[in-house]
Copies of this chain bind each other. A is one copy, B any other.
Amino acid sequence: MSAPTIAIDRRPLPGGFLDDLSALFGERVHTGEAMRLQHGQSETHFAPALPDAVVFVRSTEEVVALVKLCAAAEVPVVPFGAGTSIEGNALPIAGGVSVDLSEMNAILTVNQEDLDCTVQAGVRREQLNEHLRDMGLFFPIDPGANATIGGMASTRASGTNAVRYGTMREAILSLRVVTPDGRDIRTSRRARKSAAGYDLTRLYVGSEGTLGIITEITLRLHGIPEAISAAVCPFETLGGAVDTVVQAIQLGIPLARVEILDAMQMMAVNRWSKLDYPELTTLFFEFHGTPDHVAEQVRLVGELAAANGGGDFQWSNRPEERSKLWKARHEAYYAAVNLRTGAVGWATDVCVPISRLAECIAETRRDLDGSDIPATILGHVGDGNFHVVFSIDPHAPQEMEEVEAINRRLVARALAMDGTCTGEHGIGLGKQAALVDELGDAVDMMRMIKRALDPKDLFNPGKIFAL
């Protein structure tokens, strides 16, 4: 399968660099083809781009040493977590060193009274939640993949819980970062809020490794709610489903999750998961709170759904039943990809003001229906964020071109509605032209910041924008 590539010079390693690297990291330096390929491909459609070496780091101090070595030798440095990003964000397109942080997977502190914790960048989301469960705490951000916390910070990840609990932007209290000039800084203290100078924390969240390497993250946590209910409801119309959510939010109902799956997506999950949901636009809800408050939320949302053309409003507060209700949502991505045998997935996302969401989804559906490539729509409707997942034939280059054209129209549609070209995947390699369409001159401000902090363009070069 061909894929778009960003033209960037691959720089040859200076003589002796690998020896210097081995002197520092010994057997944790890998130059074999298999390891380089593993760090030089992504889960999506981008062409592989291999690093010259992969290094497994074990401490911030090691990252400082590595960064200083690479800076002196002018060798590119690309952080790597779980490799689950969507837009080729971690592909070392200029070669250099892929810095694998997966062995920095210690949960350093959990402060139960403060509802926060500090973890190393390689800690995975599910690992953290398993650790927290017995303390009655949880970390809400759930992008689907079992990503590392460092990777989620770098791409400003969000997912199904963001409507209630925010995104990585809101979830992070502080970062420890190794900067391009080899400093080991903390961006903030552990206080809940601060007005102390520029918001370096938020500058690094979403910077995709282009301004340094995040090594530790202090996160806000939440108490596991006393009661959780789930609900599923099909709708006669897309507008009715979106209106239900708009009205719920206006009423201040604190929806913990609210996901929309279009009819094609429901057909895909029925087929993949052997279910028999109505093949209509469907909302999946989750409610958190005290038992009384959850019961009230379920009742109010049920009434809104009924008033907006909702069908059978199924709900449950029992864990097994809840899982069953949400099964279709959990398996949506694989169901969509497997609409064709032997197909691969190609995913994109946009986010628009919720008042334009129904219109944006409807126009997108019409565009998708004009193609023979199967594609589904699913999204985090409370945020105005939705995904399109294409099921493409890896041996048909014209399908890639067609999907890219549809994606360009999708982005243009979202931007015309004052939306963004990506709600949660990041820019990486895939959305660079879209970023300029979206923010114009403001992208130059980003370049000025990048040049100031990384004047030699060594940190994940060629991502977000070309310098």
Contacts and interface: CB of A to CB of B under 8 A. Distances in A.
Given A179-B445, A191-B420, A222-B252, A114 B353 contact: yes
A35 B226 CA distance: 58
Interface stretch (A201-209, A266-274, A305-313): A201-209
Interface in A91-121: 111-116
A156 B201 CA distance: 14
Nearest to A222: B252
A189 B290 CA distance: 36
A449 interface: yes
A442 interface: yes
Interface in A307-362: 351-355
B453 A196 contact: no
A423 B155 contact: no
A261 B162 CA distance: 34
A442 B185 contact: yes
A353 B193 contact: no
B189 A438 contact: yes
A169 B464 CA distance: 23
B445 A191 contact: no
A427 B192 contact: no
A448 interface: yes
Interface residues of A, number: 97
A203 B198 contact: yes
Given A196-B438, A449-B198, A353 B191 contact: yes
A438 B347 CA distance: 42
B353 A195 contact: no
A188 interface: yes
A296 B186 CA distance: 40
A193 B184 CA distance: 29
Contacts of A199: 156, 169, 199, 202-203, 205-206
A443 B197 contact: yes
A289 interface: yes
Contact of A423 (B194, B249, B440): B194
A251 interface: yes
A24 interface: no
A158 interface: yes
Copies of this chain, tallied across the complex? 2
A431 interface: yes
Interface in A293-307: 293, 296, 300
Contacts of A445: 179, 183, 185, 198, 200, 453
Contacts of A183: 441, 444-445
A332 to B, nearest CB: 20
Most chain B beta-carbon contacts within 10 A, residue among A158, A169, A443: A169
A213 interface: no
A424 interface: yes
A255 interface: no
A467 interface: no
A294 B315 CA distance: 24
A449 B438 CA distance: 23
A194 B383 CA distance: 10
Nearest to A192: B383
A412 interface: no
A11 interface: no
A418 B190 contact: yes
Nearest to A421: B196
A191 B384 CA distance: 7
Contacts of A426: 195-196
A4 interface: no
7 contacts: A111-B353, A187-B442, A196-B439, A197-B439, A198-B206, A223-B249, A290-B296
Interface of A: 111-116, 136, 155-158, 162, 166-167, 169-170, 179, 183-200, 202-203, 205-207, 211, 222-223, 225-226, 246, 249-252, 254, 288-290, 292-293, 296, 300, 351-355, 383-385, 414-415, 418-427, 431, 434-435, 438-446, 448-449, 451-453, 464-465
- Which 5 A-B pairs rank lowest in CB-CB distance, beginning with the nearest? A202-B202, A452-B452, A194-B420, A113-B355, A191-B351
